[in-house]
């Protein structure tokens, strides 16, 4: 079982819709959770971090964390064509390990 799992997509949504990206992780001791956006040919860009159960909103982005279900999601409201990218879920287990474990990424396509 992979440590961090994401659906590879592509996830296709029309412009203005809500895009929902999901991620599950295997280590119950995981403490910190991140969503990165990566445009083709570019490095990952941090868009959201979440550390406790519940929702965290930042502009059009909402991260949701459910530690009991080992599930973290990212909602993008009013999706724009410029949101088309690969979204990487990353997890820090917090057990003395400072590096991140990444999922394989979900490719999002926002259709104009």
Partner 1 sequence: SAVISQKPSRDICQRGTSLTIQCQVDSQVTMMFWYRQQPGQSLTLIATANQGSEATYESGFVIDKFPISRPNLTFSTLTVSNMSPEDSSIYLCSVESFGGRGGSTQYFGPGTRLTVL
Which residues of the shown chain bind partner 1 in the complex (CB under 8 A)? Answer: 31-32, 34, 36, 42-46, 49-52, 88, 90, 92, 94, 98-105
Smallest distance from the beta carbon of 60 to partner 1, in angstroms?
A: 20
| Rounded least distance, CB 32 to partner 1, Å | 5
- Residue 25 or 105: which CB sits closer to partner 1? 105
The residues that bridge with 88 in the sheet, in sequence order, are 36
| Closer residue to partner 1 in complex, CB, 43/82 | 43
Residue 63 CB, nearest approach to partner 1 (Å): 12
Question: Is the CB of 18 or the CB of 46 nearer to partner 1?
Answer: 46
């Amino acid at each position: 079982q992979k440590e961090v799992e994401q659906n590879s997509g592509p996830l296709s949504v029309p412009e203005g819709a809500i895009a929902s990206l999901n991620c599950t992780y295997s280590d119950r001791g995981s403490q910190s959770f991140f969503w990165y956006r990566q445009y083709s040919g570019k490095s990952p860009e941090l868009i959201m971090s979440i550390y406790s159960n519940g929702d965290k909103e930042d502009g059009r982005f909402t991260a949701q964390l459910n530690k009991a279900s080992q599930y973290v999601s990212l909602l993008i409201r009013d999706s724009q064509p410029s949101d088309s990218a690969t979204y990487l879920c990353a997890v820090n287990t917090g057990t003395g390990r400072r590096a991140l474990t990444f999922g394989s990424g979900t490719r999002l396509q926002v259709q104009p």
